[in-house]
Amino acid sequence: MTAARPLLLVGGGKMGGALMAGWIGRGIPARDIVVVEPNPDIAATLSRDHGVTVAAGADDLAEDLSPELVMFAVKPQVMAQVAPPYRRFVGPDTVFLSIAAGTPISFFENCLGNAAAVVRAMPNTPAAVGRGVSVACGNARVTDAQQKLCHELLTAVGQVHWVADEDLLHAVTGLSGSGPAYVFHLVECLARAGREAGLPGDLADALARATVEGAGELLHRAAKDSPRVLRQNVTSPGGTTAAGLAVLMGGDPGKEDPAAGPLGDLVSACVAAAAKRSRELAG
């Protein structure tokens, strides 16, 4: 992976730091990455551990800096204060990439100007271990080359998908953006159920965690098999797994629509609530 000119990362926190580490791991020299990070402790860590140039704010950037990409990796609540100073980089050779949840492309067009090439992406936290998934959408100013650059940079931490309809990113936020938290909560629920069934707490915790870790890895490696096939492989007719699934699915585990049932309804409501909140944040 290469960049024609420097990459400017605004925000060196967990997600921004994970992406930056992924870029370096894919071959982009640290000298070609500039990070704006006001937190002195985080800034010192980034400089020490990765060798990148770190500035405390937009005013501290070099006058002649001409980045090929500006990535906003800050919380949406502060974006209105953070983004405007970067208007000076707007031009046909620079693309702006935002990973802020609920912040629409129109926001950046308003504060940076209509000439700005803007890509909005929704990654998720497994990016920290290179197993994330992102969905991105660009405005009409984004060139094919700029889309390719954004795709490559996001691929450094996992899968990347593109959509033409920005409104779909609300549903993406509800599913994959917030999804890791749902999986972690499933682990909590499994562990509690194990304790209620009589297992010692530490054993219940270990079993719940290892079960979800292992199931996820199996899902990853068995790419040719659908989740339904993998579920059926574990489920013997009239067996223990079938008895448990009957509770989650509200009846026969072999029914035509396996996602319909108590658990399916809860998950649908969960994703819908998160997507609704994403729309509210977008205004």
CATH number reported for the structural domain that contains residue 80 in this entry: 3.40.50.720
CATH code: domain of residue 190: 1.10.3730.10
Residue 235: give the domain boundaries. Answer: 179-282
**pLDDT score at 256:** 60
For residue 148, being part of any structural domain is answered with yes
Q: What rounded mean pLDDT belongs to the chain?
A: 93
**pLDDT score at 254:** 64
**pLDDT score at 243:** 92
**pLDDT score at 145:** 96
Greater confidence, 282 or 104?
104
pLDDT digits (tens, 9 = 90+) for 198-245: 999 999 999 999 999 999 999 999 989 999 999 999 999 899 999 999
Task: Show which of 169, 201, 231 is a domain's final residue.
Answer: 169
pTM: 0.89
pLDDT class of 2 with cuts at 50, 70, 90: low
Task: Show which of 108, 140, 169 is a domain's final residue.
Answer: 169
**pLDDT score at 216:** 96
* Statement: residue 153 has pLDDT above 90: yes
- Give the mean pLDDT of 243-251: 89
Q: Which two tokens stand for residue 182?
A: 């749902």
For residue 174, being part of any structural domain is answered with no
**pLDDT score at 5:** 87
For residue 58, being part of any structural domain is answered with yes
Task: Show which of 150, 169, 188 is a domain's final residue.
Answer: 169
For residue 1, being part of any structural domain is answered with no
**pLDDT score at 255:** 61
